[in-house]
Amino acid sequence: MTGPRPAARAFLCAVLLPLALGACVTASSDPPAAAQRPRISPSDAARYGAVEEKGFRIPAADPEDIKPRNVRQLVNDPSGQSPGTLVVDPKNRFLYLVQENGKALRYGVGVGRAGLEFAGTAAVGYKKEWPSWRPTDAMIARDPKRYQPWAGGMAGGESNPLGARALYLFKDGKDTLYRIHGTNEPWSIGEAVSSGCIRMMNQDVIDLYRRVPDGAKVVVLPA
């Protein structure tokens, strides 16, 4: 989301699981103190500069909010999957796009809290730029004051909790309600604070979106 970092609660991601919710919310969490965070290099910071497109503006990520391990980079592929496969590693908080010659593009991600994750093999059912978002009926019933204003849905945009892009994962032709999507809170990348979705920095999810076609195989490892 755009705006100040949350002191209590903030929209992020949500995934509907059988007994739970389904849209996009996180537990409250504050970014660590700046003094505790190692800095990334200026060249890496340049990858996360401001982006303007389709009438929207993605602000530059504060370099102090990006952990060096989470910078997008080419690494040796640890998965053994075929090129073009997306591999999500919730335990280590990485997403890999497998390349040729034993390499993979690695992205830092934020993951769901324990008990709220999806695991297994799926496929990218479809993708959306600047996706809309709607809280589930269960969320509205549980907290109408908070969610009723969005019962008709929130249009895609800078404040939308799904960020600039979303990849919708399907298994056996059915929506898993598990998403890979953007966030405007880069400090949360590498953390387990969502209700189940995989979130990426907006600049990274835009990069991934360009590289991944509909139907791509997705392997989500057990957490």
* Total of domains in the chain: 1
Residue type, 223: A
Element housing 112 (H / E): strand 111-112
Flag whether 143 is in a domain.
yes
Q: Is 151 helix (H, G, I), strand (E, B) or coil?
A: coil
129 φ/ψ angles, rounded to the nearest 5 degrees: -90, 135
**Looking at the domain assignment, is residue 56 inside a domain?**
yes
Kind and range of the H or E run holding 56 = strand 56-58
User: In the chain, what is the straight-line distance between the N-terminal and C-terminal CA atoms, in Å?
Assistant: 26
Q: How confident is the model at residue 215 (pLDDT cuts 50, 70, 90)?
A: very high
Residue 148 is given by DSSP the state G
Instruction: Find the Cα–Cα–Cα–Cα dihedral 156, 157, 158, 159, rounded to 10°.
Output: -50
Is the CA virtual torsion 75, 79, 85, 88 positive or negative? negative
pLDDT at 149: 92
Give me the domain span that covers residue 139: 44-220
Q: What is the pLDDT of residue 214?
A: 96
For residues 25 and 28, the model is more confident at: 25
Q: How many CB atoms are located within 10 Å of the residue 165 CB?
A: 25
Residue 6 lies in a domain: no
DSSP 8-state class, residue 113: P
117: in domain = yes
What does the block give as tokens for 210?
């360009």
Q: Quick check: is 169 in a domain?
A: yes
Using alpha carbons, list the distances in angstroms from residue 149 to 5, 98, 108, 115: 22, 41, 32, 28
- 175-181 average pLDDT score: 91
Say if residue 4's pLDDT is above 50: no
For the cut 50, the answer to whether the pLDDT of residue 27 exceeds it is: no
Asked if residue 106 belongs to a domain, the reply is yes
Tokens of 86: 């997306």
Angstrom distance (rounded) from CA 218 to CA 73: 19
- Distance in angstroms (rounded) separating the CA atoms of residues 221 and 209: 21
- Establish if 208 belongs to a structural domain: yes
Q: Quote the pLDDT of residue 126.
A: 97
- The answer on pLDDT for 116 being more than 90 is no
Domain CATH number, residue 62: 2.40.440.10
Instruction: Give a yes or no: residue 93 inside a domain.
Output: yes
Task: Quote the CA–CA distance of 203 and 191 in Å, as a whole number.
Answer: 18
CA–CA distance, 124 with 218 (Å, rounded to integer): 7
Model's pTM, two decimal places?
A: 0.81
Determine the pLDDT at residue 155.
Answer: 92
DSSP 195: S
